[in-house]
Structure 1
Amino acid sequence: MTLDDLPGWLVGWCVDELGNEPVSVLFERQSLSAVFGLRLAGGQEVVVKAREDDGRAASCLAAQSQLAERGFPCARPLTPVTGIGALAVHAEESRPGGELLRGDSPDVAVRYAAVFARLMSELAEVTVAPPLPNPRWSRWDHTDPGLWPAIGFLDERDQSAVPAYVVDTAARARKRLLVADLPCVLGHADFEAQNLYWHDGDIWAVHDWDSLAWQPEAALAGAASGAFASTSPPTLAPIESSAAFLAAYQDLRGRRFTVEEQEVAWAASLWAAAHNARWEALNSDPPKSGEAVRAQAAERLSRANA
């Protein structure tokens, strides 16, 4: 991508909000949000993020800012959230470097659990308005009709493409999650390998703070225990690795989950995977998550008492 390819609003926004115009594009990524790595005329390297304004961005950014101030390894926001048409836009410092930690063994799971435990401990000291609605892959508590949260372009497609076992798994996991009587807390709901970078064995940067959620701690930990090994496309970690993650997380947080929390954790580990399996089916993608759900659903549902 060159400067000529940038959205029309971006150059002026950089001048207004950051005091300089971009002189080169370092990288560009498009997913649920658009992310631009830019070098400004003054030499500063920044990252500008733009995503659909669903009302969550200000809370997510406030939490990210507080964590950065506390020394947690994440990019420091440089601007508040501003509205550009239907988009919520902000800039943050560039935090390049580091590498992905790949693998899904129990030993790798424990390393990820240590980061998640630290993250959740830090977020427990952060006070922001709940970032609602939750990200759609952790929105089992939605009030839309039907099993899945409303996603217009997916809902318009032929739902018979979604395997029956995926629908059944999601329905049983969601039912267990909805009857839980646990307080909600702030947590990272997209704790995937692709969002964490490591340097010399230590965590260097945790990204994707747009994906904060307001759900029970056990549910957030359970979802992370299933997702930690995912790059692209996402999948579901082996059961023994999820178990190692959850055990290490509880040890590091200094308390054991109750029976209900254990069940909620296992149910939450399946909801996101079922959501991803539905996405695969409706987009005719290879069924990476779908096959993992097929292989693991029975055992995970049993552990969830679902």
Structure 2
Amino acid sequence: MPLNGLPDWLPAWCVDQLGDEPVSVLFKVRRMSAVFGLRLAGGCDVVVKAREDGGRVASCVTAQARLAERGCPCARPLTPAVGVGALAVHAEEYWPGGELLPGDSPDVAVRYAAVFARLMAELAVVTVAPPLPNPRWVRWDHTDSGVWPRIKELDDRGQGAVPAHVIDTADRVRKRLLAADLPCVLGHADFEAQNLRWRDGDVWVVHDWDSLAWQPEAALVGAACGAFASASPPNLAPIESSAAFLVAYQDLRGCRFTAEEQEIAWAASLWPAAHNARWEAVHGDTPVCCDAVRAQAAERLQRANA
């Protein structure tokens, strides 16, 4: 693709930070971040990511760099996070290829749990400033008024569309999570199928390291066990698959969650789904997570003692 549509600052940024200018665009993605796949004049392909800097980006990029040095399946950052106005920008290796691993069965859950256990073990030896505030879909620890963290693009829409069962679920989950007194650790908080690629049966690359969080281990594992199968649109995995994920994770890490940690994991498994259900409702989208929360909340809340 031609260079049309790139931000005005980006070509000069590439020259300054990478020593070369872009000559073509491999891809452009705009979600919470703007992501540009670029071919530089010297023939190197890179990915440049730009997003609003809430104070957490530098830690995420540093952690990603240290994981890449340790041989984890993630793209190696080529620059630190650099301020461009209100944005934090960094470049990383372009790591194409691989396939999605579809499905939400217990067998598939175990394969995802093995990857998550590996990532958590690697992150346990990485020391960075906590990447706070946490991503909004795991930000039950916010200090804003009400159940939800303040998110302007959602708050400005009609909240009357959000089903009462979603609000009640989120409220009960948040109270249970905040009642816990567990140490926080670093973990990948957007562990969804869409952010992983596989090759020949093994994980090839894990993307979206912008979404590191600082939460209790059990909560991070719980969020992952509910979200691992999500592609587009996101969904909530079946209860038996979340249970298989939790068991496999503990087996692979050589640990056993306490009764409280088990409850926290099940509580956290519902928060991203409730967040996504709210998003669906205020945007008028198909109620995928809304329906999943309605169907599964009672059982998950019981397991969470919430």
TM over 0.5: yes
Report matched runs for 1:202-241 at 5 Å. 202-241=202-241
- Structure 1 residue aligned with 2:26: 26
Q: How does 1:96-115 map to 2 (within 5 A)?
A: 96-115=96-115
Gaps of 5+ in 2: none
Summarize deviations over 1:109-141 as a string: whole Å, max 9, x none.
Answer: 000000000000000000000000000000000
**Deviation of 1:22 (Å):** 0.5
Question: What is the CA deviation profile of residues 35-74 of structure 1, one whole-angstrom value per residue up to 9, with x for unaligned ones?
Answer: 0000000000000000011110000000000000000000
CA–CA distance in structure 2, aligned partners of residues 153 and 237 of structure 1: 26
Q: Does 1:294 pair with 2:265? A: no
2:6 is the alignment partner of 1:2: no
Q: Distance in 2 between matches of 1:284 and 1:85?
A: 34
- Once the two structures are TM-superposed, the CA of residue 5 in structure 1 deviates from its matched residue by 1.3
| Cα distance per residue 1:127-175 (max 9 Å; x no partner) | 0000000000000000001110001121122211000000000000111
Q: CA deviation at 1:2?
A: 2.6
Q: Show the counterpart of 1:305.
A: 305
> How far apart are the structure 1 equivalents of 2:27 and 2:158?
36
Which is further off, 145-154 or 66-75? 145-154
Unaligned runs of 5+ residues in structure 1 are none
Q: Partners of 1:206 and 1:256 in 2: how far apart?
A: 26
What's the CA shift for 1:4? 1.7
TM-score relative to the length of structure 1: 0.99
Distance in 2 between the 1:38 and 1:103 partners? 32
Correspondence list, 1:267-278, <5 A: 267-278=267-278
1:150 equivalent in alignment to 2:150: yes
2:138 maps to a residue whose letter is S
SS of 1:5 mapped into structure 2: coil
State the one-letter code of the partner of 1:264. I
Identity across aligned pairs (percent)? 78
Q: Which residue in 1 is equivalent to 2:191?
A: 191
Runs of 4+ in 1 over 6 A off after TM superposition: none
SS in structure 2 at match of 1:23:
strand
Give the letter for the 1:132 counterpart. L
Q: 2:244 is aligned with what amino acid?
A: A
Give 1:122's aligned residue. Answer: 122
Question: Structure 1: how far apart are the matches of 2:185 and 2:174?
Answer: 18
Q: Distance in 1 between matches of 2:74 and 2:153?
A: 32
Name the TM-score, length of structure 2 as normaliser.
Answer: 0.99
Q: How far off is 1:232 after superposition?
A: 1.1
Distance in 2, matches of 1:216 and 1:80, equals: 27
Aligned residues: 306
1:225 Cα shift?
A: 0.1
SS at match of 2:35: strand
- Once the two structures are superposed, residues 68-96 of structure 1 have per-residue CA deviations (whole angstroms, 9 ceiling, x without a partner) of 00000000000011111111000000111
Could you tell me which residue of structure 2 aligns to residue 282 of structure 1?
A: 282
| TM-superposition CA deviations, 1:200-223 (whole Å, max 9, x none) | 000110000000000000000000
Q: Counterparts of 1:56-205 in structure 2 under 5 Å?
A: 56-205=56-205
Aligned partner of residue 89 in structure 1, secondary structure: strand
For residue 249 of structure 1, what is the aligned residue in structure 2?
A: 249
Q: Give the corresponding residue for 1:40.
A: 40
Alpha-carbon distance in structure 1 between the residues aligned to 2:153 and 2:39 = 35
CA distance in 1, matches of 2:221, 2:153: 29
Alpha-carbon RMSD across the aligned residues, in angstroms, is: 0.6
Q: Distance in 2 between matches of 1:289 and 1:225?
A: 15
C-alpha offsets along residues 269-291 of structure 1, whole Å, 9 cap, x if unaligned?
Answer: 00110000001001111111111
Provide the rounded CA distance (Å) in 2 between the counterparts of 1:155 and 1:4.
Answer: 33
Name the SS of the counterpart of 1:4 in structure 2: coil
Residue 238 of structure 2 aligns to which amino acid in structure 1?
Answer: P
